[in-house]
Amino acid sequence: MIVKQRLGINIDHVATLRNARGGALPDPVRAAVMAEQAGADGITAHLREDRRHIRDADIAAIMGAITIPLNFEMAATDEMQAIALSHMPHAACIVPERREERTTEGGLEVAGDESRLARYIGPLRDAGIRVSLFIAADPAQIAAAARIGAPVVELHTGAYCDYDADGDVAARDAELSRLIAGAKQAADLGLEVHMGHGLNYHNVTPIAALPEVAELNIGHFLIGEAVFVGLPAAIAEMRRMMESARA
């Protein structure tokens, strides 16, 4: 059992708000520093192909301003690999990316793309970047992630969170069962298990309670909540809920 579960704060939506006006504010670097001061264990940020969240210059600025690890989310493209290798973040989370999606809607297809992804993550791993694969809690994807030598998987909690929001309890519980089984399978294969996407105060407890889950990455809800209560208070409440889920 991992006792202290890490909380990574995704600051993408501070950048989204900044980009809406095309200026410099609100500053995602300030959000990253504030999240660290509020007790975050890591900062997550996604450099999308269309740069709708953070932009290239934000990477160095964030890394220069925080002392906690940066988890750099990226698509499995040559461009992103070169950017990751030039900045050397602590971790790189490989995510699927489609231009037309509103957010990262599904997990990465690892089982159907094993040899390319094995070759792709090689240079990142060799450079000392901790690679994680953002996948669905699907036994075939988890097994493929282990086969290609990824040390970490992040299991996509989006479907579980969506069903929870819809009030479809049976579907939510089926997704939760999949996540529970996926976490166990991944841990049995020696993978470190993270989870994220769509987590909020209402749905986090059963996820945070899973003994195999070493890290949660949470963004959209906390940045939204920060509008009302401030980022430190929003993060502190999430941390309190995670800790009470594990107590």
Rounded Cα distance, 157 and 205, in Å:
13
Q: Does 73 bind ligand PXP (CB under 6 A)?
A: yes
Specify which residues 42 forms β-bridges with: 8
Q: Does 104 bind ligand PXP (CB under 6 A)?
A: yes
Q: Is 73 a catalytic residue?
A: yes
Tokens 């989006």 found at: 158
Q: Closest separation between CB of residue 159 and ligand PXP, Å?
A: 12
Q: Give the phi and the psi of residue 212 in degrees, each rounded to 5.
A: -80, -15
Q: Is 101 a catalytic residue?
A: no
Q: Closest separation between CB of residue 78 and ligand PXP, Å?
A: 20
Q: Is 46 a catalytic residue?
A: yes
- 27 or 105: CB nearest ligand PXP: 105
Size of the site for ligand PXP (CB under 6 A): 19
SS3 149: coil
Give the residue ranges of DSSP H helices in 49-168: 56-65, 78-87, 114-126, 139-147, 158-166
Q: Which of 13, 36, 53, 73 is catalytic?
A: 73
Residue span 20-59 as binding mask against ligand PXP, x where in contact by CB under 6 A, dash where not? --------------------------x-------------
Rounded Cα distance, 107 and 116, in Å:
16
Rounded Cα distance, 123 and 98, in Å:
24
Rounded Cα distance, 21 and 239, in Å:
31
Q: Does 199 bind ligand PXP (CB under 6 A)?
A: yes
Please, are residues 151 and 191 in contact by the beta-carbon 8 Å criterion? Answer: yes
Could you say which of 196, 204, 208, 214 contacts ligand PXP (CB under 6 A)?
Answer: 196
Q: What counts of helices (H) and strands (E) characterise the chain?
A: 11, 8
- 44 or 247: CB nearest ligand PXP: 44
Q: Closest separation between CB of residue 157 and ligand PXP, Å?
A: 8
Q: Does 198 bind ligand PXP (CB under 6 A)?
A: yes
Q: Which of 97, 197, 212, 225 is catalytic?
A: 197
Please, are residues 117 and 146 in contact by the beta-carbon 8 Å criterion? Answer: no
Q: Does 220 bind ligand PXP (CB under 6 A)?
A: yes
Residues acting as catalytic residues: 46, 73, 197
Query: Which residues are near ligand PXP by CB under 6 A?
Result: 10, 12, 46, 73, 93, 95, 103-104, 134, 154, 196-199, 217-221
